[in-house]
A and B are shown apart, each in its own frame.
Chain A
Amino acid sequence: MQYFNPSTFKHFSKLQKMHSIPQAHDLLLLKKAQDVLEKLAWIP
């Protein structure tokens, strides 16, 4: 396996900016995930 250094990737900085901040719908899904998983924390 060749070691991957993403900074050598040509579009890395562009991808970094695109993915940096969660948007409103991301936050809605995260809230839903929290609500459901909280109920399932008993699973061993």
Chain B
Amino acid sequence: MNASHPESDIDLFVVTEIKRLWLVRILLTLSLQIMHARKTSKHHAGRFCLSFFCTTEALDFASFALKDDIYLYFRIVMLKPIINVEDTHAQFLASQSWADFSLYPDIQKLSTSFQLSLPSKKHTSPLTRKFFDTLDSICKFFFLPKTLHHAQRIGNPYGIIITKHMLKFHDDDQRKEISEKIRLKSECRNPN
């Protein structure tokens, strides 16, 4: 918030159920592509960047937070949930074991104004679940090797995470640089 400009894109953070990570990624990518709303190398202003997916099993960012990760901290504070199924946003905030978010007791209250009012989720039959589980496995089978190969090709930077429950594609992750800049500024102003 308060950091966007006319050339800014929209970074989506997508939380899926278990065994939906790959299926949701592929369906979302295809849909945004068809709608000409996906960010490309030539067009990024106002378009969607699909760089961060995780399942409800990987909501705690302690797994990849850096020491004193002020950048990640504010990314979480400023995140605006648009679709919030079964109060996932509250679960997400409560899962953060690596930092103190009690300084922002109103995060959820302030975020609700941007949420869409969607009809509640319909019950899914075991057969339908099995069908989607299989589709997810098929998507993973075809796209995991390609994704791993891409990460390897660009040197496996620390901003890229590919696990069973998380797909994070921030190949230009600048958290280390930003933290270092802030630390140096701080030392210059307070030499003792």
A29 contact from B8, B37, B73, Cβ within 8 A:
B8
Binds A, one of B96-104, B140-148, B168-176: B96-104
The total of Cβ contacts below 8 Å across the A-B interface reads 105
Q: Which residues of A contact B28 (CB under 8 A)?
A: 40, 43
Residue count of chain B within 8 Å CB distance of chain A = 47
Secondary structure class of chain B's binding surface, majority of residues: loop
Within A1-18, the residues touching B (CB, 8 Å) are: 1-7, 9-12, 15, 18
Measured CB to CB, the nearest residue on chain B to A17 is B2
- Asked whether B162 is an interface residue with its Cβ less than 8 Å from the other chain, the reply is no
Which among A4, A22, A39 is the interface contact of B99 at CB below 8 angstroms?
A4
Determine how close the nearest CB of chain B comes to the CB of A11; give it in whole angstroms.
6
Contacts of B70 in A (CB 8 A): 6, 9, 12, 15
Q: Bound state CA distance, A6 and B24, in angstroms?
A: 34
Within the assembled complex, what's the spacing in Å between the Cα atoms of A17 and B1? 11
Interface residue? B68 (CB, 8 A): yes
B73 touches A34 (CB 8 A): no
Do residues B65 and A19 form an inter-chain contact, with CB atoms below 8 A? no
Given contacts A6-B73, A7-B100, A34-B114, contact A29 B35 (CB under 8 A): no
Is the CB–CB distance between A40 and B31 below 8 Å?
Answer: yes
- Whether B163 sits at the interface, judged by CB under 8 Å, is no
Given known pairs A19-B1, A29-B46, A34-B82, the reply for A39 and B35 (CB within 8 Å) is yes
B190 within 8 A of A: yes
Shortest CB distance A4–B (Å)? 4
B99→A6 contact, CB < 8 A: yes
Q: Contact: B73 with A11, CB < 8 Å?
A: no
What is the bound-complex CA distance between A41 and B6, given in angstroms? 26
Q: Complex formed: what's the CA distance from A5 to B69 in Å? A: 10
A23 touches B2 (CB 8 A): yes
The answer, among A9, A12, A33, for a CB contact under 8 Å with B10, is A33
Cα–Cα, bound, A28→B46 (Å): 9
Do B69 and A19 have beta carbons less than 8 Å apart? Answer: no
Answer yes or no: B138 CB below 8 A from chain A CBs: no
A-side residues, CB < 8 A to B, are 1-7, 9-12, 15, 18-23, 25-26, 28-30, 32-34, 36-41, 43-44
